[in-house]
A and B are shown apart, each in its own frame.
Chain A
Amino acid sequence: MYIRILFYHRLRMNKELTQIKKVIIAIFIRELNTRFGKYRLGYLWALLEPLSIIVLFVLIRGILAGSLRGATDKIIYHVDYPLFLAAGIIPFFMFRHIVTQVMNSIEANKGLFYYQPVKPIDAMIARWILEGIIFSVVWVVIFFMLACLGFSTEIKDPLGLLGIYLLLYLFSFSVGLVLCIVVNIFEELKNIVPPVMMFLFFTSGVFFSINMIPPKFQVFLLWNPVLHFIELSRVNFFPLYRADAVSLEYVTFSTIVVLWLGLSLYKIKIKEVLSSE
């Protein structure tokens, strides 16, 4: 009898899982078409945005150093400056895009929830997957372009790097999930997300290495998990790179806590969010 019940539940769960999978695929196709249809440059922009910032900062540095050579110097642990920048900007943009996309997924797909099988989490996951694919393509294209320009490196620990990226991928989703529920309850909070993102852009080690910062200031910066993620990814990326104060334990712990918080908020508050129109 017990086994029968267990088996029945297993069957039902399988059925539900395949249904969820189908819905996610449907929304994924919708998102894919929508973004491409809206602006022709939709996907190209994902590439141009980080690229333009890399070029901009290389130029600024060149002007400060007074020469083109100075712009691409290997002054940070034998890493070419453009590579150093790319290794910070690309993951940061993944983080930013996932957070904003997942955060806005309920708002943007409101009409879809009239179709009973569609649940908000499906829309979030569909967007998350799309952002993951965009990130992978952007990563490959930009580092390929840099290699063509003569800025290449061997990757110190490819698996470790992939692991950090995957953890950041999950962390970004978790932050997006928390914010999605929060901004749907307190709509005003939506306005402070862009400035906070701007703040994080300059304090997450995209443009600097944590070892360049005096220890008494490091303490403040090290509260930010995104900085740990970016520096950890560089440590796994460049053979001689060092970031002494960052910790894998801290980012793992942060991810678990934020994910747990997001899932709990979702479970408790989602019906209220859907009903408040």
Chain B
Amino acid sequence: MIEIRNLTKSYKTKYGRHYVYKDVNVIFPSGKNIGIIGPNGAGKSTLLRLIAKIEYPDRGEIITHGSISWPVAFSGGFQGSLTGRQIVSIVCRIYGEEDNIRDKIEFVKDFTELGKYFDMPVKTYSTGMRARLAFALSMAFDFDYYIIDEVIVVGDTEFRKKCNTILKEKLQRSNLIIASHKINSLKDLCHIFAIPYKRDIVIFEDFKEASKFYEHACKNGGFRNI
């Protein structure tokens, strides 16, 4: 379960304070995949980052029961001079899994099919290789919630199939919190739809209603609170 209590979040801008959320109260029941929908700048990523505890609210709190992943396929923490193997081992240590380093390294090595590149500095990787490493690293850990910022497209068709398979496997035991600006891409995946709207969050359990509301809001310019 994820409970958002009195959440207020703002950013300082040149033109004064910009409020993304103001006194928001929401409860996401456990065992449901959550889709966060909105155009660019609506506050999707902010909400994800708040839930992942990467950022902090100005006021209020976010109470999460269960573990939350880092944004899936995030590769911003990869230091270029480190090898893929070193990065996996460091992240294992960060998450207190130093006893399972060998297993996780094996998993990532197999999954990414990086071959000899696995032992070379990541700065020598292509964008696709980097993304593959980042995705596999996320999948090597078990979380109650996996956080996904925009639907990820990693690698070629073959690799994408593999990604979908393992994600489905993960979904047997875990849930997703996924942000997207295309509501249709979340239709089959999510049980709850959250739309950041006018500094609040509107929740729908029904896809059709959510979709209707979203279309309407887009047309009326309801997201232009900037």
Contact = CB atoms under 8 A, between A and B. Distances in A.
A33 interface: yes
B98 A22 contact: yes
A110 B77 CA distance: 7
Contacts of B89: 29
B90 interface: yes
A114 B94 contact: no
Interface in A20-41: 22-23, 25-27, 29-30, 33-34, 37-38
B166 to A, nearest CB: 20
Nearest to A35: B81
Contact of B94 (A33, A110, A118): A118
Given A112-B77, A114-B76, A275-B55, A33 B93 contact: no
Contact of A113 (B11, B54, B68, B82): B54
A19 B97 CA distance: 11
Interface in A116-167: 116-118
A219 B55 CA distance: 47
Contacts of B81: 33-34, 37-38
Interface centre among B52, B70, B79, B98 (most CB of A within 10 A): B79
A26 B94 contact: yes
B82 A114 contact: no
Contacts of A111: 76-78
Contact of B90 (A26, A38, A116): A26
Interface in A196-255: none
A202 to B, nearest CB: 35
Contacts of B78: 111
Given A38-B81, A117-B95, A33 B68 contact: no
A12 interface: no
B77 A115 contact: yes
A276 interface: yes
A152 B86 CA distance: 43
A33 B86 contact: yes
B121 interface: yes
Interface centre among B12, B74, B78, B96 (most CB of A within 10 A): B96
A4 interface: no
B53 interface: yes
B91 A115 contact: yes
Nearest to A25: B93
Nearest to B96: A22
B93 A114 contact: no
B93 A26 contact: yes
Interface in B50-78: 52-56, 68, 70-71, 74, 76-78
Given A34-B81, A111-B78, A271 B90 contact: no
A113 B89 CA distance: 17
B52 A30 contact: no
B12 A276 contact: yes
Interface string A252-277: 00000000000000000001001110
B71 to A, nearest CB: 6
Contacts of A27: 90, 94
Interface in B158-198: none
Interface in A81-122: 110-118
Given A29-B90, A37-B121, A115 B82 contact: no
A275 B86 CA distance: 28
A116 B77 contact: no
Contacts of B96: 18-19, 22, 117
A116 B79 contact: no
Contact of B70 (A25, A30, A34, A114): A114
B67 to A, nearest CB: 8
A30 B90 contact: yes
Interface in B90-113: 90-91, 93-96, 98
A276 B94 CA distance: 24
Interface of B: 11-12, 52-56, 68, 70-71, 74, 76-79, 81-82, 86, 89-91, 93-96, 98, 121
18 contacts: A18-B96, A22-B94, A22-B98, A23-B93, A23-B94, A26-B94, A27-B90, A29-B90, A34-B79, A111-B78, A113-B54, A114-B74, A115-B91, A116-B54, A117-B94, A271-B56, A275-B56, A276-B12
Interface of A: 18-19, 22-23, 25-27, 29-30, 33-34, 37-38, 110-118, 271, 274-276
* CB-based closest 5 A-B pairs: A37-B81, A111-B77, A26-B93, A111-B76, A271-B56
